[in-house]
Structure 1
Amino acid sequence: MSSPKFADFAHYKQERAALINHDRSLRRDNPESKVSPSEAKADAIIRQLRLSENNSVWATEHEGVPHPFPGMEFLTGRNIILKTKLFEILAKMPKGALLHAHLDATVNAEFVLKLALEQPALHVRTAEPISAVTLSGLLPEFRALPKELFTNSEITLTDPSYIPGTWVSVKKARDTFDSALGGPDGFDKWVIGAMTINPSEGQSITYQTHNTVNKIWEKFTSTFTVSTGIIRFVPIWEKYIYEFFRSSVEDGVSYVEVRINFHPKYMFGEDGQENVPHRVWLQIFDATLNRFKADLKQQGRADEFIGARIIYSTLRYISVEDLDSTCEDCITLKQEFPHLIAGFDLVGPENVLKPLIYYAESLLRFRERQKELGIDIPFILHAGETLGDGTEADVNLYDAILLGTLRIGHGFSLVKHPKLMEMCRERNILIEVCPISYEILRLTSSMLMHPLPILMNNGLPVALCSDDPAMFGNMGLSFDFYQVNDPLHSPILLTYFLQVLVASEVTGLIALRELARDSLLHSTLEDTEKQRAIAAWEKRWEDFVESIVS
């Protein structure tokens, strides 16, 4: 090789390195990110472990999973994930804030059923008689009844003479469930199956018969229909909230901003009457939060949980007039509970419900009312949870940004819009990404096709979120922070941890650090609280890194 050509090649390599470095400098975990010696060692260990488990775990046979592979469906591969050392490590990771989750879908379904069985006021009924033929397609309906309506009849839920629509106490329904249908265990399986999209349904429901976005949303929506009748009952509401806080902290979450649907005006009280207004919902939430924090403090764990706030949410099918009154209700609650109300959102399947433009005038009026009253309830809007390009659901992204959304819930179709990505980066609008949710709800068939790396590589702030973990069986954030996929060594992907940790040769532990920190940075905490939360998280992060190294 002659000297001139060698010189040209050397120049080429310099340009190549400069281009790669410039491109990677846009990432949140760019080469300029400070990395401690311990973080560098831990990152190397994680990368080596990922490679090792591709061969030791994913390349072996697993009962019930004919062909395990790196981008397989979460519901099918969940049990394999639980066998990995990588998941064990990530379960201990301090994950920062959970910024996108719907409260009615955050507590394990088995725990919810246990709470229901403790309440004599809770009853259940079905729209048709139960038999081996009808059971799998029937949804139980739960409701708290006043004492005068308690049923003392000998008729049970599975009795041949059961009249559809007749209420039976939950405990009696379980105790007397027909042995031919599995007895009490059969009752549990039926109810829990109705409240979840569970692994046993993984192939037949999620990935075959319900194989489109709209079809799986039908199943998904039905799970809320079942669980709401149990959860929206004051004696359970309090215990449910406490369990949500407890399980979040146990999974390494130190702060939550949870969406609560305030569309129903009332909750059922202890007397079995639907008469408990929104302000009482928040009183219970506040009291439970304070009790939980006091319990942690007594255990010497006060720094593990900063607190919780609420994103007031309503459904995208209400009228504009109803939205106006809903916004006034939100303002009233903000005035009474300024420390709890963090933002406002409209929720529901974007592909079939009303777009943001339908509500834009009302939302602008809402914003002006806040200015008049000197309060601040930022929009934290769902937008772009769709496969569409130019559809109403996709165009919601434009409206969300123009309305001044603080963060974007989902933003799945955002990567189709370079200008909008640029605006999000410039305005520091964080994207709340819910990896497992997107795969189960059929927005993507695998993590390799997920747009998360595109968002991160373009420098947009991102927080990993769980969305509706109770329905999917991915409680907490550990599953969403796990992914097993190395595209150069037999793609194995799975729970979306991250396309970050496993679907990228560039990304590693530092990306996880930035995701966790960004979740706290983009929370609605006041500056002093935010700094305290980040400082506490940093200390726990250092301990976590040292535990990997040692």
Structure 2
Amino acid sequence: MCAKVNLLIIVSLFVLTNADYWNDREKLIKREESQMLGSSIILNEAEQIANKILMGYKYSEYDAGFQNPGIFAPGRHFFQSKRDVENSKVFSFIQKVPKGGALHGHDTALASFDYLYSLTYKANLYGCTVDGRIRLKFLSYQEQDKTCKWTLISELRKNEPDFDKWLRSQLTLDVSNPREEYPDINAVWKAMSDIFGTVDPLLNYKPVFEEYLYQALLELYNDNVMYLEFRGVLPAMYDLNETVYGPMQVAGIYKEVVDQFKKDHPNFIGARFIYAPSRKVNNATVENYIKIVKELKKNYPDFLAGFDLVGQEDLGLPLTEFINHLDQIPKDIDFIFHAAETNWFGTSTDMNLVDAVLLGTKRIGHGYGLVKHPAIMEIVKEKGIGIEVCPISNQVLMLVEDMRNHPAAILMAQNYPVVIGYDDPSFWSTKGLSYDFYMAFMGIASRSADLRLLKQLAKNSLTYSMMPATEKKLAIEAWETDWQQFIDKIISENYNC
């Protein structure tokens, strides 16, 4: 009898202990999920219905990848998985999401590759080959120089059967075997620098750039993005009359295109410009940068969003080289610095984070190395410094192979102020923000991350923008209207109501 009683007690204790374990496990999971980006959002009844649709798509795709990792798009190089992304129901859903603003993109790489390539069919476009690279230029007549035999692109197309294939390869990083084509980070950056060198004279022709920027805005607008902050170097523009346009004139051209687009598309909130010249320069050049950004603030105070320095950080000069110069920039001009776009830890590139924060940067471009710096992470969260995460760029430029290993997963898990950018979509054959949103949602975030994450990312893009407070408030209100219409549309499409 006593043995039976003792056995019952043991079984009862096991059941109780077992129940306690599962309760504790559930509490711990909930505790972690409550700290994730977007976790504070409470979905209303309609949003819960839309979320159920989204998560049905996500679980199906995610779990298929878990069973067969080779088919999981975020785990492969984007150039080899792009078609699978485009066939994804999650991607189709994300394309419809009102995504707020795009806060990280560069002026001569904003539009899709297909549109960029279509510009090579423009009249008066000449080309020649120097050291294996195509040079492009719009001319009113066939001029010659010692290094270049300028020939109409239309003639080159007519006379050389493989010219188009070769020309396309000169304008994109998108290749079938990226790891073979670009053996290391310096190689892929060199290739991108070469592309910029080819593209810039094409786009710096004033009539073409006006069309190009308008198209870039249109592609964002069609991707349900309502606002843009883009970086640029204000290159000299030209026309067939041999007029050369200087920095202030170029800024005016940018603004005129934006104003015209807003007039044509009243739902588009607008765009602002971040003056972002090269970081690999001498002191005299930096002095000129400061002069230009001061003039920009004077002439276009509502269009200028801030100041940055760009280029490959590992080979460029660190922010410490510019401290004395940066002190000369008026306090009413905000810094929006690239920092720690690197895999190195403790190098000058990595330490750009320290200087960016000390200099008062409002956002951090990329910040790939941020998670290695707990003290800086504390400051970022405390001061609300937005982190511009560009997933596809980070993969193409060889910081991360597999999106599941992207350090932004840590930032999302701990509710850091992440915003999603697209960097240079022309060169990796994307269009709009949806591709990068997809990678963030499916590859970087948790399997359990849901509609609340997408909503938070969209809101963050407006919250951490450089819009003035009043304009920002109106933009968020407009976005909330778009969001509700989006939710209604999703439900209608899926339930025929």
Match of 2:142 in 1: 150
Q: Is residue 26 from structure 1 mapped to residue 35 from structure 2 by the alignment?
A: yes
Structure 1 distance, partners of 2:323, 2:29, is: 42
Structure 2 distance, partners of 1:460, 1:53, is: 26
Match of 2:463 in 1: 521
Secondary structure at 1:358 match in 2: helix
Q: State the shift of 1:292 in Å.
A: 1.4
Contact between 2:290 and 2:328, CA under 8 Å: does it hold in 1?
no
Q: State the shift of 1:324 in Å.
A: 1.9
Match of 2:57 in 1: 49
Q: Deviations over 1:210-231 (max 9, x none)?
A: 1321111111111111111100
Q: Is residue 315 from structure 1 mapped to residue 261 from structure 2 by the alignment?
A: no
Match of 1:269 in 2: 239
Match of 1:306 in 2: 269
Q: State the shift of 1:69 in Å.
A: 3.5
Structure 2 distance, partners of 1:522, 1:315, is: 24
Tell me the number of residue pairs that the alignment of Structure 1 and Structure 2 aligns.
482
Q: Is residue 229 from structure 1 mapped to residue 201 from structure 2 by the alignment?
A: yes
1:510 to 452, 463, 466: 452
Q: State the shift of 1:497 in Å.
A: 4.1
Match of 2:359 in 1: 403
Distance 1:318 1:477, change over 3 A: same
Contact between 1:58 and 1:68, CA under 8 Å: does it hold in 2?
no
Q: Is residue 353 from structure 1 mapped to residue 295 from structure 2 by the alignment?
A: no
Contact between 1:406 and 1:429, CA under 8 Å: does it hold in 2?
yes
Match of 1:196 in 2: 172
Q: State the shift of 1:506 in Å.
A: 2.5
Match of 2:341 in 1: 385
Distance 1:230 1:440, change over 3 A: same
1:170 partner amino acid: I
Q: Is residue 125 from structure 1 mapped to residue 99 from structure 2 by the alignment?
A: no
Contact between 1:109 and 1:196, CA under 8 Å: does it hold in 2?
yes
Q: Deviations over 1:217-255 (max 9, x none)?
A: 111111111111100111111111111111110011100
Share of identical aligned residues, percent?
A: 33
Q: State the shift of 1:174 in Å.
A: 2.5
2:250 to 281, 285, 292: 281
1:516 partner amino acid: A
Contact between 1:109 and 1:192, CA under 8 Å: does it hold in 2?
no
Match of 1:158 in 2: none
Match of 1:168 in 2: 151
1:191 partner amino acid: L
Structure 2 distance, partners of 1:85, 1:18, is: 32
Match of 2:5 in 1: none
Match of 1:220 in 2: 192
Match of 1:487 in 2: none
Moved more, 518-527 or 81-90: 81-90
Match of 1:416 in 2: 372
Structure 2 distance, partners of 1:190, 1:108, is: 18
1:519 partner amino acid: S
Secondary structure at 2:176 match in 1: helix
Contact between 1:126 and 1:165, CA under 8 Å: does it hold in 2?
yes
Secondary structure at 1:114 match in 2: helix
Structure 2 distance, partners of 1:54, 1:394, is: 33
Distance 1:54 1:256, change over 3 A: same
Contact between 2:98 and 2:224, CA under 8 Å: does it hold in 1?
yes
Match of 1:94 in 2: 98
Distance 1:46 1:401, change over 3 A: same
Structure 2 distance, partners of 1:76, 1:497, is: 19
Distance 1:215 1:458, change over 3 A: same
Distance 1:497 1:174, change over 3 A: farther
Contact between 2:441 and 2:449, CA under 8 Å: does it hold in 1?
no
TM value normalised by structure 1:
0.82
Q: Is residue 241 from structure 1 mapped to residue 213 from structure 2 by the alignment?
A: yes
Q: State the shift of 1:281 in Å.
A: 0.9
Structure 2 distance, partners of 1:276, 1:325, is: 17
Contact between 1:452 and 1:499, CA under 8 Å: does it hold in 2?
no
Q: For residues 71-90 of structure 1, what are the structure 2 equivalents within 5 Å?
A: 71-90=75-94
Q: State the shift of 1:77 in Å.
A: 1.0
1:68 to 43, 67, 71: 71
Structure 1 distance, partners of 2:214, 2:220, is: 10
Q: State the shift of 1:76 in Å.
A: 0.5
Q: Deviations over 1:13-43 (max 9, x none)?
A: 665555444443332312x422111222222
Contact between 1:234 and 1:270, CA under 8 Å: does it hold in 2?
no
Structure 1 distance, partners of 2:166, 2:489, is: 42
Structure 2 distance, partners of 1:108, 1:513, is: 25
Contact between 1:91 and 1:478, CA under 8 Å: does it hold in 2?
yes
Moved more, 20-29 or 445-454: 20-29
1:422 partner amino acid: E
Contact between 1:384 and 1:410, CA under 8 Å: does it hold in 2?
yes
Instruction: Identify, as 1 or 2, the structure richer in helix.
Output: 2
Q: For residues 250-261 of structure 1, what are the structure 2 equivalents within 5 Å?
A: 250-261=222-233
Structure 2 distance, partners of 1:59, 1:237, is: 47
Q: Deviations over 1:28-65 (max 9, x none)?
A: 312x42211122222222121123345789989xxxxx
Contact between 1:144 and 1:272, CA under 8 Å: does it hold in 2?
no
Contact between 1:248 and 1:476, CA under 8 Å: does it hold in 2?
yes
Match of 2:443 in 1: 499
Q: State the shift of 1:512 in Å.
A: 0.7
Q: State the shift of 1:468 in Å.
A: 0.3
Structure 2 distance, partners of 1:118, 1:352, is: 36
Q: State the shift of 1:107 in Å.
A: 1.5
1:543 partner amino acid: Q
Structure 2 distance, partners of 1:51, 1:9, is: 28
1:108 to 105, 108, 112: 112
Q: Deviations over 1:111-134 (max 9, x none)?
A: 2343343232x3211125xxxxxx
Secondary structure at 1:377 match in 2: coil
Structure 1 distance, partners of 2:66, 2:163, is: 35
Structure 1 distance, partners of 2:260, 2:41, is: 39
Structure 2 distance, partners of 1:202, 1:362, is: 44
Contact between 1:410 and 1:432, CA under 8 Å: does it hold in 2?
yes
Contact between 1:480 and 1:498, CA under 8 Å: does it hold in 2?
no
Structure 2 distance, partners of 1:123, 1:439, is: 34
Secondary structure at 2:232 match in 1: strand
2:270 partner amino acid: G
Contact between 2:59 and 2:447, CA under 8 Å: does it hold in 1?
no
Match of 1:141 in 2: 135
1:41 partner amino acid: I
Q: State the shift of 1:459 in Å.
A: 1.9
Moved more, 210-219 or 248-257: 210-219
1:197 partner amino acid: L
